[in-house]
A and B are shown apart, each in its own frame.
Chain A
Amino acid sequence: MTALLRTDGIRKAYGGVQALDGATLEVAEGKITGLIGPNGSGKTTLFNVITGYEKADAGDIVFRGKTITNQRPDKVFSAGIGRTFQLSRIFPRLSVEENMLVAAQHKRGKHRARARELLEFVGLERHAELPAGSLSYGQRKLLELAYVLIADPAVILLDEPAGGVNPTLINHIADRIRQLNASGTTFLIVEHNMEFVMGLCDSVTVLASGTVAASGPPDAIRTDPRVLDAYLGSDVEDEPASPEEAADAER
């Protein structure tokens, strides 16, 4: 098994707070990797550093054998790493279909057909003409996933795809991820919903205080005492009750 994406000793500090303290993890090609950990353990920061939205103080990011540390977000994206945000960053005043085309760089005609296809795939085709701002929370997550897909990324980083989404839609999202994975897309997923992670991922990495505390298949992680330590032993408060609070806390 080869690692499609690897981070190597990533360090990142904000003022005096060490958000990432030598985070090293591997995302295996063709697999779904889960990234869990208590609030403030650095999951979103790691996403931001990988995708170039923030700069690492130290460490390396290797994608397909090439170092892509601290490249600009658009370079990372065109290299084949797509991502979604915890608070979906859609374009609210563009229509749903237009959202799909922002990331489409060439040959508009071909992309239009592909955009329709992807909207059908995520189940938003009926809303194609509506302004994206009128979509529900969960629909926005689907739209963001769909418009990232149009660039055919090799790996997609999902930041809490199930957060704040109703159970039916969660199943729908999980199903779509599985289908995409079956056709070759690799995933790295940050998620608080344990059942979602354990049911979906091939391998799970636990982040605590900016470093990897444990890593392995879901069943092993479930029983790993280090994981319990990571959650209970940290000085961070309990998991927030709702995704809105989580969003506020991480903002």
Chain B
Amino acid sequence: MTLSRDKLPRAGGLIVLLALAIAFPWLFSNPAVTNYGVFAMIFVTVASAWNLFSGYSGYISLGHAVFYGSGAYVMGVAAKAWHLEGTAVFELLPLCALAGAVIAVPFGLVALRVRRHTFIVVTIAVFFIFQLMAFNFSFTGGSSGLSSPFLSWTQASFNLSFYDIALACAVGTIVISWLIRRSTFGLRLRAIRDDEDRARGLGVKTMRVKLSAFVISGALTSLIGAVWFYYETQVQPQTGFDPLFDLTVVLMAFLGGYGSVAGPVLGALLIEPGTLWLNSQPQLSGIAEIVLGAVFLAVVLFVPRGIIPAGGEWITKLRTRGKPAVVPAVAMTKESVPAGTPGGEK
């Protein structure tokens, strides 16, 4: 594939961004700052994973915490059961992703039968079932949760290594999201978002398409949930299955631009550091929620389609100033008017 003149600056921009992302922890080596970096990458992954299902298909899931928390718990339980420690624990990551995929199948088979409001509510219900299980099973450690196995990294290398792992997950998820978006599979997902019944009437296997996206999304979310657990060193029912989790992720996607590849990434980069900072200020407890809610209201009311689509449109407007954006398609039919066809009046 050759890069056209249009694509070259874009590819260059992406390489610069990636280089910046890799260099970030060396530029700001303060562990408090690299901590922000790790969380930002975790949420870039989550928001992109959420978006490649919900953003493309239009089925808003408020139950992705199910995958996130399950990933964390699977890693915790498995490491304990098999007495794994140190870097060996990372070998569990594929298992955690698989767990997410396995959970997504029955979850999706039930939830994806219904649409819109009902779908959203079913995802919330499943979320509560999982939280309840985490609270009440014995192998999940009840309300005190699980602690991660010991990892003998120094304070400095701890954050740096986790940053690299989370960055790798983020880049991988973005690439998957981009590949899906430009594939036939992605086209079908977006057709479902526009008019599911018509897409089905045209032979799109809607259930299979939706479920596949849900499974991919769930697996990626479980994977990063496990990474988060090992980084955070512990998980409790209310942190692994946090009711605010999905709302935050949805906010990220909407702020940046729901349904686009870059939107959720931008949204996560803007929002996650903000929430982290708010939550780190003890005198502001309670305010974090109010701010989150207020930002959300502002986004939905003022930039409902997100920064990236709105910005893109603004740029197009600037470029095409003075020229009509759409050339009417009617004029060209002159030569093809057949003799004897009556005109339109009734």
Point out residues on A near B: beta carbons under 8 Å: 51-53, 73-74, 77-78, 85, 89-94, 98, 101-103, 105, 108, 123-124, 126-127, 130, 134-136, 138-139, 147-148, 151, 162, 165-172, 174-175, 178, 192-196, 198-200, 239
Contact = CB atoms under 8 A, between A and B. Distances in A.
B324 interface: no
Contacts of A148: 202
Contact of B343 (A98, A135, A170, A194): A170
B191 A51 contact: no
Contact of B344 (A52, A135, A167): A167
A151 B337 CA distance: 27
Nearest to B333: A172
A53 B197 CA distance: 9
Interface in B327-346: 327-330, 332-334, 336-338, 340-346
A108 B184 contact: yes
Given A171-B337, A239-B346, 4 more contacts: A102-B204, A124-B329, A169-B333, A193-B346
A83 B102 CA distance: 39
Contacts of B80: none
A138 B330 contact: yes
B329 A123 contact: yes
Contacts of B187: 94, 98, 101-102
A127 B329 contact: yes
A174 B330 contact: no
Interface residues of B, number: 35
A191 B23 CA distance: 65
Sorted from nearest, which 6 A-B pairs have the closest CB atoms? A167-B344, A195-B342, A73-B201, A172-B333, A91-B194, A103-B202
B326 interface: yes
Most buried by A among B193, B204, B333: B333
Contact of B193 (A93, A195, A196): A93
A166 B337 CA distance: 13
Contacts of B195: 89-91
A166 B330 contact: yes
A91 B338 contact: no
Interface in B183-220: 184, 187-188, 190-191, 193-195, 197-204
A108 B199 CA distance: 17
B326 A130 contact: yes
A199 B342 contact: yes
Interface string B266-293: 0000000000000000000000000000
Nearest to A138: B330
Contacts of B340: 199
Given A77-B202, A102-B204, A178-B338, A168 B191 contact: no
B203 A193 contact: no
A53 B201 contact: yes
Nearest to A197: B342
B263 to A, nearest CB: 14
Contacts of B193: 93
A164 to B, nearest CB: 10
Most buried by B among A52, A94, A178, A239: A94
A170 B199 CA distance: 27
A168 B340 CA distance: 13
Contacts of B333: 123, 168-169, 171-172, 175
Contacts of A103: 202-203
Given A91-B191, A98-B187, A199-B341, A175 B201 contact: no
